[in-house]
Amino acid sequence: AQKVTQAQTEISVVEKEDVTLDCVYETRDTTYYLFWYKQPPSGELVFLIRRNSFDEQNEISGRYSWNFQKSTSSFNFTITASQVVDSAVYFCALRPPAGKLTFGKGITLSVRP
């Protein structure tokens, strides 16, 4: 069975602070994909990044960066110099070969001006 744990439930920071959102997953599959999605108040899930289990390179996209460590089954997400528009719920998700996407419970990020 697959499981995604986002231990942090709510994080509040002041604008321009850096913030890291943690994600730990469990799977017996050797091949799988990991995702991060953002859900603003409007409700739509917005795709942020996809990483496969064979690619442990970290990735940076603007103010966003992701740290994938297979040894610790973690896929953490860092926002540098946070902005008010980053306020949303962030979900980490795992997709095994069977194809079903399993989500974590989500982390509510509040960025105060």
Partner 1 sequence: KAGVTQTPRYLIKTRGQQVTLSCSPISGHRSVSWYQQTPGQGLQFLFEYFSETQRNKGNFPGRFSGRQFSNSRSEMNVSTLELGDSALYLCASSFDSGGALKETQYFGPGTRLLVL
Q: Is 105 in the site for partner 1 (CB under 8 A)?
A: yes
Out of 91, 94, 109, 111, the only residue in the binding site for partner 1 (CB under 8 A) is 91
Which of 19, 94 has the CB closer to partner 1? 94
Cβ-proximal residues to 53 (8 Å cutoff; 6+ apart), any chain: 29, 30, 31, 32, 33, 34, 70
Q: Is 7 in the site for partner 1 (CB under 8 A)?
A: no
Which of 37, 77 has the CB closer to partner 1? 37
The dihedral over CA atoms of 70, 75, 99, 97, expressed in degrees to the nearest 10, equals -10
Residues touching partner 1, count (CB under 8 A): 26
Cβ-in-10-Å burial (0-12, 13-18, 19+) of 79 comes to buried
Of 14-73, binders to partner 1 (CB under 8 A) are 31-33, 35, 37, 42-47, 50, 52
* Residue with the two structure tokens 């999605």: 37
Q: Is 103 in the site for partner 1 (CB under 8 A)?
A: yes
Enumerate binding residues for partner 1 (CB under 8 A): 31-33, 35, 37, 42-47, 50, 52, 91, 95-106
